[in-house]
Amino acid sequence: VRAQGDTYQVVADVSQFEPPDIVVTTSNCHVAIQAEKVAEDGTVCDTFTHKCQLPEDTDPLSVSCALTEGGTLVITARRR
């Protein structure tokens, strides 16, 4: 978790996954990133999981995420 001005940022490289394969959830100042690549035969061939805790002064309603064209997931949250 990096502080930048009045926001916090979490960055993850998920370039090996397609956007529909990536799930981001938040709960009690925790952020969880999960991604799963499924082969044509239905087997899971790649997974990614990352969990982190946001600082206590994070505004939980301000958490948002964006996926860059290069496959970097950027999660941002405002500080209170």
CA distance 64 to 74: 8
Burial class (CB in 10 A: 0-12, 13-18, 19+), 7: middle
pLDDT at position 60, please?
87
CA distance 25 to 39: 24
Each residue's pLDDT tens digit, 14-66:
999 999 999 999 998 899 999 999 999 999 999 999 999 999 999 989 999 99
Residue 61 contacts by C-beta under 8 Å, 6 or more apart in sequence? none
The pLDDT value recorded for residue 29 is 86
Q: Which domains does the chain show, CATH number per domain?
A: 2-78 (2.60.40.790)
